[in-house]
Amino acid sequence: MRVLAINGSPSTDQGITAFLFTHLLEGMQGAGADVEIVYPHSMTIEPCAGEVSCWWTNPGHCFIKDDMQSLYPKLLSAEVWVLGIPVYVGMPGEMQNLLNRLVPLLTGLPEVCGDRVYMRPRPGLALHHVVLVANCGGWEMGNFDRVVTVAQTLAATMRVPLTCILRPQTCVLSTSIADGKAQDIVDALAEAGRSLVRNGAVPLGILEIISRPLTTRDEVIAWYERRLLSKR
């Protein structure tokens, strides 16, 4: 199984997104997957121009000559896309640019799927699963709605299932790990990776462990208040 892991964090191989990726992808590799990681923040990815010559004039090819040109073959050949997205107000701009530049992977031919019309994926696309790995410092799981909706639309467009691995309250994650209070989350990330490769899905119980509360909402609010005061 070929896995393309796209770490959309501006922190690239540092920070919480990289931490989640490390344990999830180690589980996937341990189960036999061939994993490659790319970092949009370290690449030049221009916004989509929206003129869709990749459908009409030169099908399957984007006219913008930047680092997406080297990514398209990898996106086409990977069976699993793992999208690492930290949640701010929205998502990091480089990741948004990358997602918008996936238009050449579609044919421009409409097809009714359920109650919506989507463009058909281009023949030769090996993809059969999208995995969203999102994290945020907030307490509520609702903070992820803005990126989950994007991932759901992407998976529906590509006609593949979606697995969402969500980790809130990351403001206290490092401390919890150091105190030995989050080892089950680390173990669950690795198990999620193994299960994705072996079974094509992650048991609900594993996803719930990864997302479980580490503290109360009031304690998260207090953490940010202390952080703000310490910077003044």
| pTM recorded for the entire structure | 0.94
Q: Is the pLDDT of residue 230 over 80?
A: no
Question: What pLDDT does residue 232 have?
Answer: 64
Question: What pLDDT does residue 84 have?
Answer: 97
Question: What pLDDT does residue 231 have?
Answer: 67
Q: Where is average pLDDT lowest: 111-120, 146-155, 157-166?
A: 111-120
Please list, in sequence order, all residues whose beta carbon lies within 8 angstroms of the beta carbon of residue 197, skipping any fewer than 6 positions away: 1, 27, 28, 31, 32, 33
pLDDT in tens, 116-146: 899 999 999 999 999 999 999 999 999 999 9
What percent of the chain has pLDDT above 70? Answer: 99
Max mean pLDDT among 87-96, 105-114, 147-156 falls in: 147-156
Question: What pLDDT does residue 97 have?
Answer: 96
Nearest to 139 by CA among 229, 228, 212, 231: 212
Q: Is the pLDDT of residue 201 over 90?
A: yes
**How many Å apart are CA 198 and CA 28, to the nearest integer?**
9
Q: Which residue has tokens 């793992």? A: 82
Q: Domain 2-230 maps to which CATH number in 3.40.50.360, 3.40.50.1980, 3.40.30.10, 3.60.9.10?
A: 3.40.50.360
Question: What pLDDT does residue 229 have?
Answer: 77
Question: What pLDDT does residue 228 have?
Answer: 80
pLDDT in tens, 165-192: 999 998 888 888 778 888 999 999 999 9
Q: Say if residues 155 and 161 touch (Cβ distance below 8 Å).
A: yes
- The helix (run of H) or strand (run of E) holding residue 99 is helix 93-100
Question: What pLDDT does residue 79 have?
Answer: 98
Q: Say if residues 16 and 173 touch (Cβ distance below 8 Å).
A: yes
Q: Is the pLDDT of residue 105 over 80?
A: yes
Question: What pLDDT does residue 173 have?
Answer: 87
Each domain of the chain, given as residue ranges in start order, spans 2-230
- Could you tell me the sign of the dihedral formed by the alpha carbons of 30, 31, 36, 37, in that order? negative
- Could you tell me the sign of the dihedral formed by the alpha carbons of 48, 19, 171, 168, in that order? positive
